[in-house]
Amino acid sequence: MTRRVRAQPKVLVIDDEPDLLELLELTLSRMGLDTERASTVAEAIALLDRESFDLCLTDMRLPDGEGLRVVEHINQHGLDVPVAVITAFGSAENAVAALKAGAFDYLAKPVALEQLRALVKQALKVPDKPAGATPGATQLLGESAAIVNVRGLIERLARSQAPVFVNGESGSGKELAARMIHHGGPRASQPFVAVNCGAIPEQLMESEFFGYRKGAFTGADADRDGFFQAANGGTLFLDEVADLPLAMQVKLLRAIQEKKVRKVGSTAEEPVDVRIISATHKKLPALVESGAFRQDLFYRLHVIELAMPPLREMQEDIPSIANAILARLARGQPARLEPDAVAALERYAFPGNVRELENILERGLSLAADPQHISAADLHLTPDADEEDAAMPPGDKWPLQDYLDRVERQAINEALEKTRFNRTAAAKLLGITFRAMRYRMERLGIK
Ligand SMILES: Nc1ncnc2c1ncn2[C@@H]1O[C@H](COP(=O)(O)OP(=O)(O)OP(=O)(O)O)[C@@H](O)[C@H]1O
Ligand SMILES: [Mg+2]
């Protein structure tokens, strides 16, 4: 059983009011969800045809037409995404029309956040797709020594209950490894709860992790479980664990040591039985050294380390992994890489590892005129970083702040492009938190 509490599920939000968009995005990101936005029917349809989403929320009145058209598009094309509409206050006919057209629910403006959260939870609980048809990979592919080694270790770790610390570059399969450890072990029938520690606002951390009692703070209108209770009996995956603020690190250490948690606003502790797997792409020992990560927590989490090899260390596997991923993305339709495409992939450095390979192939598949002949040009691999460095003349480095801003803007724009303007993924690629990303984009005036 897998509960998806992390940034993995992706929600398409369609609205042309910036304020409402912002509110929806903020709420969804606090629930650990990725969002993409569109502000017109046309944009939304283009995105839906290009990417897969776990949920779609659309306003009914959009500049180029009715949100209803999005609902109709999804249903006419058999897209596997639940869609809900946001209707203007008092327009019940609209809501009924949307439900008839295939929307699973609606929200009336002004949007009540509690309702929004309930709707999202309900939509994402839509039963897990049967195994085999799952879009994501369930196994680490590759036959090179590095990955064979990792698979062997995962098998052994699955049988143990010891905390595992997964380290590796962005996109190298850390989460997939954590899921395999969970699913290969005695806790497989219990929940796997993945938490993106970098995506939770600091003020909400304690209540998100440990739950809260009714009345603990304004808005706490009922008791609520936290991640620990949700994972009870199963595995709690602490993703991006290096992003935990120090104050939370103390509380987490205590919970892990005592195997007990206390809800915010409660005096009683409750026992919890969770296996902890943690992951980060950062160098945790260096953060311990600099005082940003507590040494005692580090030792608790770091009982066994699983190091994920970067894709460039699995060079010989690139063609076979690319073909396997392409076959999965093509969903049974014939698709094939031309030899020049394979050669280009073999030469490419993959700073974003297998995730980047997946993105490149997804793009290639949608851009190629004929998916049976995907060429190197269809893959749009970015040129070497040093070529781009050379493009900036050294005399351009004064004044310093302008120069730094240009470099930063360029890095952010590249990361955004690479992740199709998914800010959460772009932040990961850049190795900064989502909040830091937002701040920097705002400062540099990147829309
Ligand atoms: N060896 C592999 N074989 C097949 N698929 C893989 C492999 N490694 C990673 N993937 C796929 O690549 C994508 C990224 O993997 P995952 O999310 O586990 O990476 P990650 O290390 O957690 O990345 P990040 O640091 O960005 O969170 C997933 O879709 C995963 O299924
Ligand atoms: Mg991850």
The DSSP secondary structure of 202-251, one letter per residue, reads GGGHHHHHH-B-TTSSTT--S-B--HHHHTTTSEEEEETGGGS-HHHHHH
Residues 194 and 108 in one domain: no
- Strand, coil or helix: what is 83? strand
Ligand 1 center from residue 184 Cα (angstroms): 17
> How far, in Å, CA of 299 to CA of 201, rounded?
25
Average pLDDT over residues 334-349: 94
pLDDT at 19: 82
The residue whose CA is least distant from atom 2 of ligand 1 is 140
Residue 276 pLDDT > 70: yes
Residue carrying the six token digits 């992706």: 10
Distant-in-sequence, close-in-space partners of 337: CB < 8 Å, separation ≥ 6: 322, 323, 326, 345, 364, 374
Indicate whether residue 419 lines ligand 1 (CB < 6 A). no
Residues 399 and 371 in one domain: no
Domain finish residue from 258, 273, 307:
307
With respect to residue 3, please indicate whether it lies within any of the assigned structural domains: no
With respect to residue 188, please indicate whether it lies within any of the assigned structural domains: yes
Ligand closest in space to the Cα of 195: 2
Of the listed ranges 104-113, 241-250, 323-332, 391-400, the least confidently predicted one is 391-400
Atom of ligand 1 at shortest distance to CA of 137? 31
Indicate whether residue 358 lines ligand 1 (CB < 6 A). yes
With respect to residue 1, please indicate whether it lies within any of the assigned structural domains: no
Indicate whether residue 187 lines ligand 1 (CB < 6 A). no
Residue 376 pLDDT > 80: yes
Atom of ligand 1 at shortest distance to CA of 168? 21
With respect to residue 138, please indicate whether it lies within any of the assigned structural domains: no
pLDDT at 8: 66
**3-19 per-position pLDDT tens digit:** 434 346 899 999 988 88
pLDDT at 4: 37
Of the listed ranges 87-101, 332-346, 419-433, the least confidently predicted one is 87-101
> How far, in Å, CA of 119 to CA of 154, rounded?
36
- Read off the pLDDT band of 133 (50, 70, 90): very low
| Cβ neighbours, 10 Å, residue 250 | 14
Residue 134 pLDDT > 80: no
Distance of CA 422 to the CA centre of its chain: 9
Indicate whether residue 62 lines ligand 1 (CB < 6 A). no
> How far, in Å, CA of 214 to CA of 264, rounded?
9
**156-194 per-position pLDDT tens digit:** 999 998 999 999 999 999 999 999 999 999 999 989 999
Domain finish residue from 273, 290, 307:
307
Indicate whether residue 147 lines ligand 1 (CB < 6 A). yes
| CA dihedral of 377, 380, 384, 387, whole degrees rounded to 10 | 80
Residues 149 and 110 in one domain: no
1 closest CA partner among 166, 176, 193, 158: 193
> How far, in Å, CA of 345 to CA of 322, rounded?
8
